[in-house]
Amino acid sequence: MKRVYGKPDAMTDVPFPYCPGCSHGTIHRLIAEVIDELEIADRAIGITSAGCSVRNWRQFDCDMVMALHGRGPAVATGLKRAQPETVIFTYQGDGDMAAIGTGEIVHAASRCERITVIYVNNGVFGATGGQQAPTTLIGQFSTSYPTGRDPRTSGYPLKMAEMLARVSPESYIARVSIHNVKNIIKAKKAIRQAFLVQIEDRGFGLAEVLAACPTNWRLEPVRCMQKIKSDVIPYYPLGEFSSQSLKAQ
């Protein structure tokens, strides 16, 4: 028998530290597969960020740099300018990128910085115990708003992909999900494109991945996948929001 699926090479042997069913693991694997397929492990550099994935420098078998909360795109910018031959990706949660790091990501996008951003939208601050993220759905429970998100008090869920696409003319920006096999395959394609647009020097790449946090959603993993489909995607439509430069090619 031949192994047809298995751990990608760009992933280390260290098991993931995440809760059972946590989407971070799936997304990590997709990134590693793309790094393998594009054969860029030797020149890829990942930027970690604060969040449950803060120590994912242990997961990727490539050079890694840790950034402080929200600053990934700035660190990536400095590094890419210093080492233009490398392939830089940031890995950021929705707290990291859509809350404290708003300035950094908006400007990296508008500079069309040649970096790749993997943006994990799980609708919650996972690492700090389930507080409301900018992406938390209306009515959704969190430890900061125990009665559920009320737009009157704390506003509307932020659609980062749409917003960033609006300011980043040379870019590939897409929203994907990992709630079933079909979408996982699509998600990988989007991640691949988000890398390619950098590698081919065509622009800024960002894949927003709708993800689950079973622990803070207080749901079984399988129920989480169903919830992504039933509740999350209707608010956060999947698709490509910017692929100007790709079409131009």
Partner 1 sequence: MVVEQSTYLAVSEKNLMSGNEAIGEGAIRAGCQFFFGYPITPQNELFEFMAQMLPQTGGTFLQSESELSGINMVYGAAAGGGRCMTSSSGPGFTLMGEGLTTLATAQMPAVVVCVTRAGPGLGRIASAQSDYRLATRGGGHGDYQCLVLGPASAQELYDLTYEAFELADRYRNPVIILSDAILGQMMEPVVTDHLPRMKTPPKEWAVRGKGTNPRKVIKVAPHTDEELIDWNRQLKKKYQLMQDNEQRYEALLTRDAELIVVAFGSTARIVLDSVLRARNEGMAVGMFRPISLFPYPQKALEEIVRQGTRKLLVVEANNGQMVQDVRLAVCGAAEIAHYGFGGGHIFSPYEIYREIRRLGKS
Partner 2 sequence: MSKAKGQIAINPARCKGCGLCIWVCPQKSIKTVDEADRRGIRIACCAENAPCTGCGFCYMVCPDTAIAVYKESTTEEPAD
Partner 3 sequence: MILNEILIAGFGGQGIMLMGKLLAYGAIYKGLEVTFYPSYGPEMRGGTANCTVVISDQRIGSPVRNEFAYLMAMNQASVDKFSERIKPGGVIVCNATLVESPPERRDVKIVKIPANQIAMEMENPQVANMVAMGGLIHELKIISYESLTKGLVRVLPQYRHNLIPLNEQAIQKGFEALEKKLNLEGYDEQSKGTNCDQPGTV
Ligand X SMILES: Cc1ncc(C[n+]2csc(CCOP(=O)(O)OP(=O)(O)O)c2C)c(N)n1
Give 54 or 196: the residue with its C-beta nearer to ligand X.
54
Beta carbons of 211 and 27 less than 8 angstroms apart: yes
* Token code pair at residue 99: 């809350």
Query: Using CB under 5 A, which of 56, 92, 122, 168 touches Mg ion?
Result: 122
Q: CB under 8 Å to 71, separation ≥6 — which residues?
A: 49, 101, 104
Site residues for a second copy per CB under 8 A: 99-103, 106-107, 110-113, 134, 151, 154-156, 158-159, 162-163, 166-170
Using a 10 angstrom Cβ sphere, with 0-12 exposed, 13-18 middle and 19 or more buried, the burial of residue 128 is middle
In the list ligand SF4, partner 2, ligand X, none, the entry touching 125 (Cβ below 5 to 8 angstroms by class) is ligand X
Using a 10 angstrom Cβ sphere, with 0-12 exposed, 13-18 middle and 19 or more buried, the burial of residue 150 is exposed
CA distances from 153 to 26, 134, 161 (A): 34, 12, 23
Quickly tell me which residue has 């694997």 as its tokens: 29
Residues 151-210, interacting with ligand X (CB under 6 A): none
In the list Mg ion, partner 1, ligand SF4, none, the entry touching 19 (Cβ below 5 to 8 angstroms by class) is ligand SF4
In three-state secondary structure terms, 119 is strand
Question: What's the first-to-final CA gap in the chain, in angstroms?
Answer: 41
Give 126 or 134: the residue with its C-beta nearer to partner 3.
126
Q: How many residues bind partner 2 (CB under 8 A)?
A: 32
Kindly write out the interface string for residues 57-86 of this chain, putting x where it contacts ligand X by CB under 6 A and - elsewhere: ------------x-----------------
Give 50 or 191: the residue with its C-beta nearer to Mg ion.
50
Give 40 or 232: the residue with its C-beta nearer to ligand X.
232
Interface ranges with ligand SF4 (CB under 6 A): 18-19, 22, 24, 52, 122, 126-127, 213-216
